[in-house]
Amino acid sequence: MTRLSVNINKIALIRNSRGEDKPNLIQFAKDCESFGAQGITVHPRPDERHIRFDDLAPLKEIVSTEFNIEGYPSQKFIDKVCHVKPHQVTLVPDPPGALTSSEGWDTQEHKSMLTDVIDHFHSHDIRVSLFLDADPAAVSYAKYTGTDRIEFYTGDYAKTYYSDREAAITDHVRAAKEASIQDLGVNAGHDLNLDNLYYYVSSIPNLLEVSIGHALVGDALYFGIENTIKMYLHQINRKL
């Protein structure tokens, strides 16, 4: 079964815009889980424009499913994550000023650094996932870093889906098969939505988790968060 992890960055962005505590991030995370979400994802950035580093510990206290922290492995990020000890950390190659994640790691070029960072997280009993493009070679090299999982960047898939969904999914299927050969768990995220989610989930073998935030929160403005989570779960779980 593919799990749905709700990225709550956009909720923190709304909260921060007024300098207050509305909407309350902790209550929103609790509600997402009560409505069926099987995980909560956050991605603190250096400028803390949405999720703040001081949000991490309170969220870890209340998340009852799976807590996933994404981010670039700066020393500050590493220290904060190891202190909080989430269930999973997803390492993303974002430069400090990036608006959003837009590409995966070059696992050959950064193998030594990633191996050291992953070993450090493992010493704190934290599962590690690497954010990758859908490239079998990148998956193959990822194996040598010691990572537990990989997360496919699905932004390009989402862009191509409406014009040629078969072309959009081809590299992801090939890369997922390589992950199976390398005994790596597969996650996916970025721009997945109610239109393209079912086709992706039904095409990718052994997909463990999808992380969705921007589209899901946008849909919740129309349908409400409870209905929206149920709609996303329906797309994940409906039969072929």
Position 99 scores a pLDDT of: 53
Reported pTM: 0.95
* CB proximity list for 39: less than 8 A, separation 6 or greater: 3, 4, 5, 6, 63, 65, 66, 67, 68, 209, 211
Position 31 scores a pLDDT of: 98
State how beta strands 39-42 and 67-71 pair. parallel
Q: Any idea which residues carry the catalytic annotation?
A: 43, 70, 190
Rounded to the nearest integer, the mean pLDDT of the chain is 95
* Confidence band for 102, pLDDT divided at 50, 70 and 90: low
Q: What is the pLDDT of residues 167-191, one digit of tens each?
A: 999 999 999 999 999 999 999 999 9
Query: For the CA atoms of the chain, what is the radius of gyration?
Result: 17
List of domains in the chain: 3-237 (3.20.20.70)
* Confidence band for 239, pLDDT divided at 50, 70 and 90: low
Residue type, 138: A
Position 19 scores a pLDDT of: 87
Question: How far is 52 from 203, CA to CA, in rounded Å?
Answer: 35
Burial class (CB in 10 A: 0-12, 13-18, 19+), 68: buried
Position 103 scores a pLDDT of: 80
Is pLDDT of 240 > 60? Answer: no
Position 171 scores a pLDDT of: 98
Is pLDDT of 221 > 70? Answer: yes
